[in-house]
Amino acid sequence: MKIKHLKNVLLVAFTMVFISSCSDNDDAPNNEPDFSGTFVQADQMGRPAVNTVFVSSTSKDIFNVTTPSEQGAIFQNMFQTNLEALSPAFANAGDKNALGQDATTFTGLLATDVLGVSTTGTTTFFDGTNVLTGRTLADDVISVELLLIFGGEDGTENPGLTDDNVDANDKPFLTSFPYLASPW
């Protein structure tokens, strides 16, 4: 951490030298925007609703400033405790979700909050066949997560909790870039 900090200080110092030498040698007015400075992490996100569902209230800020490569070791236990408290489908030892994951495996996956994306095939959060190969705009990610949290081994447990019955966006998406719909 200290070495990282030192590097940043050095970078800032070099950047400042570079900028001042530029303007010294430049007779024309400098209209280039200023991009100097160190930017410090505020928020991060991989998969939807992970911080909001699985991280305890007092740890949500810390989760946002823990790099993904360190999240699993720090947060998996908390995720498992919160999952088992939240869902009757994980209340008993040996309980699994529809992907065959027990509480430890499921929360071990979720605690490292990155979104896997395929570069060779279908990209989807879940389409009945492919699992976590990306996330499209139309993917009903909440219902997938509800099913995996509350649905138990075959997806039939707690039927009132496994689908919010909002299955699509309120505006159609575009087929071409930039894909998201125009604002209301």
Partner 1 sequence: MRKSKNVIWILGILLTGITLVAADHIDAPAVSGGTSDITDYFAFQAENSNNLVFAANVQGLLSPNAASTAAFNENVLVEFNIDNNGDTIEDLVIQAIPRNGKMYFFGPFAPPTTGLNSTIQTAATLSIVDITPYGSTAITTSNQGMSFFAGPRDDPFFFDFGQFNEILAGNASGFNNPGTDTFAGTNVLSIVVEIPKNMLGGNGTLNTWVETKTN
Give me the 95-114 binding string for partner 1, x by CB under 8 A, dash otherwise: -----------------xxx
Q: Write down the least CB distance from residue 20 to partner 1, Å.
A: 15
Binding to partner 1 in span 119-178, by CB under 8 A: 119-120, 122-124, 133-137, 140-142, 159-161, 163-171, 173, 175-178
Closest by CA position to 152, among listed 88, 89, 87: 89
Encoding tokens for residue 130? 């492919």
Q: CA-based Rg of the chain, rounded to a whole angstrom?
A: 22
CB of residue 111 to partner 1, shortest distance in Å: 11
Cα–Cα dist 99/135, whole Å: 18
* Span interacting with partner 1, options 8-16, 90-98, 99-107, rule CB under 8 A: 8-16
Footprint of partner 1 on 25-44 (CB under 8 A): 33, 35-44
Instruction: Tell me the C-alpha distance between 125 and 93, whole Å.
Output: 27
Residue in this structure with the two tokens 């989760």, named with its chain if needed:
63
